[in-house]
Structure 1
Amino acid sequence: MELLLAITIGILYASGIYMMLRRSLVKMIIGLILLGNGVNLLIFLLGRLTKGSTPIIPDGLDTFAEAYADPVPQALILTAIVISFGLQAFAIVLIKRVYKVVGTDDLDELSYNEDDETI
């Protein structure tokens, strides 16, 4: 299971970075979303997968006697999901505004200045 998650994380990282290097702003946002999902899975994997275990200490015990599910990575992932959703919403609105003003989402055309001389 962990090997499958590691391969999935690698695919998400590779495709996210590839999409972020494209010239279109929409593809850049899709790459950012893929990269964020890869990071969330990486945090989840680093918290160790324990199937069928709870993060709660049973009554009568002071410490855990067996493997338990760590709740900290799960809380970090939930926080990261909320923050990435806000970032993605802001980026989509910003790209829509740029496209409305400039008329294109190509990064090369956005960085062109009329004062620049053509070679």
Structure 2
Amino acid sequence: MKIHTQKIAEKNELVLWEDVFKSLNQYWNSKSISDYLESWNFLTGGIKMSLKNAILYNFFLLLFFGFLCQYLQFTGNSLTNLFLTFIGWVLLFSAFYLIKLEGFKLQLKTIIK
């Protein structure tokens, strides 16, 4: 009786895991994987764009802000500390998102193999 109950319990566990795998498969098939930063993030705020475009966007913002800081330094105001903070912010979060993206790619490669 105990062996029979154990086999039924194992069969129910297999059915449950089968349901979990089916639902995960349906979830993954309905989602497309991309490198888009969709929700609010530290690089683009709320603007939806790819990671590559976000880095380019921040590069051009750095150039513009750098020229603005140089102009303001000629007029007597100095925003150099703010500019250096902005550079650090962009470098820190660009590296953060690039590391997350590469880690995710590595996980996908190991799952697929």
| TM class, shorter-length | 0.3 to 0.5
Q: Which structure carries more relative contact order (alpha carbon 8 Å, separation 6+)?
A: 1
Larger Cα Rg: Structure 1 or Structure 2?
Answer: 2
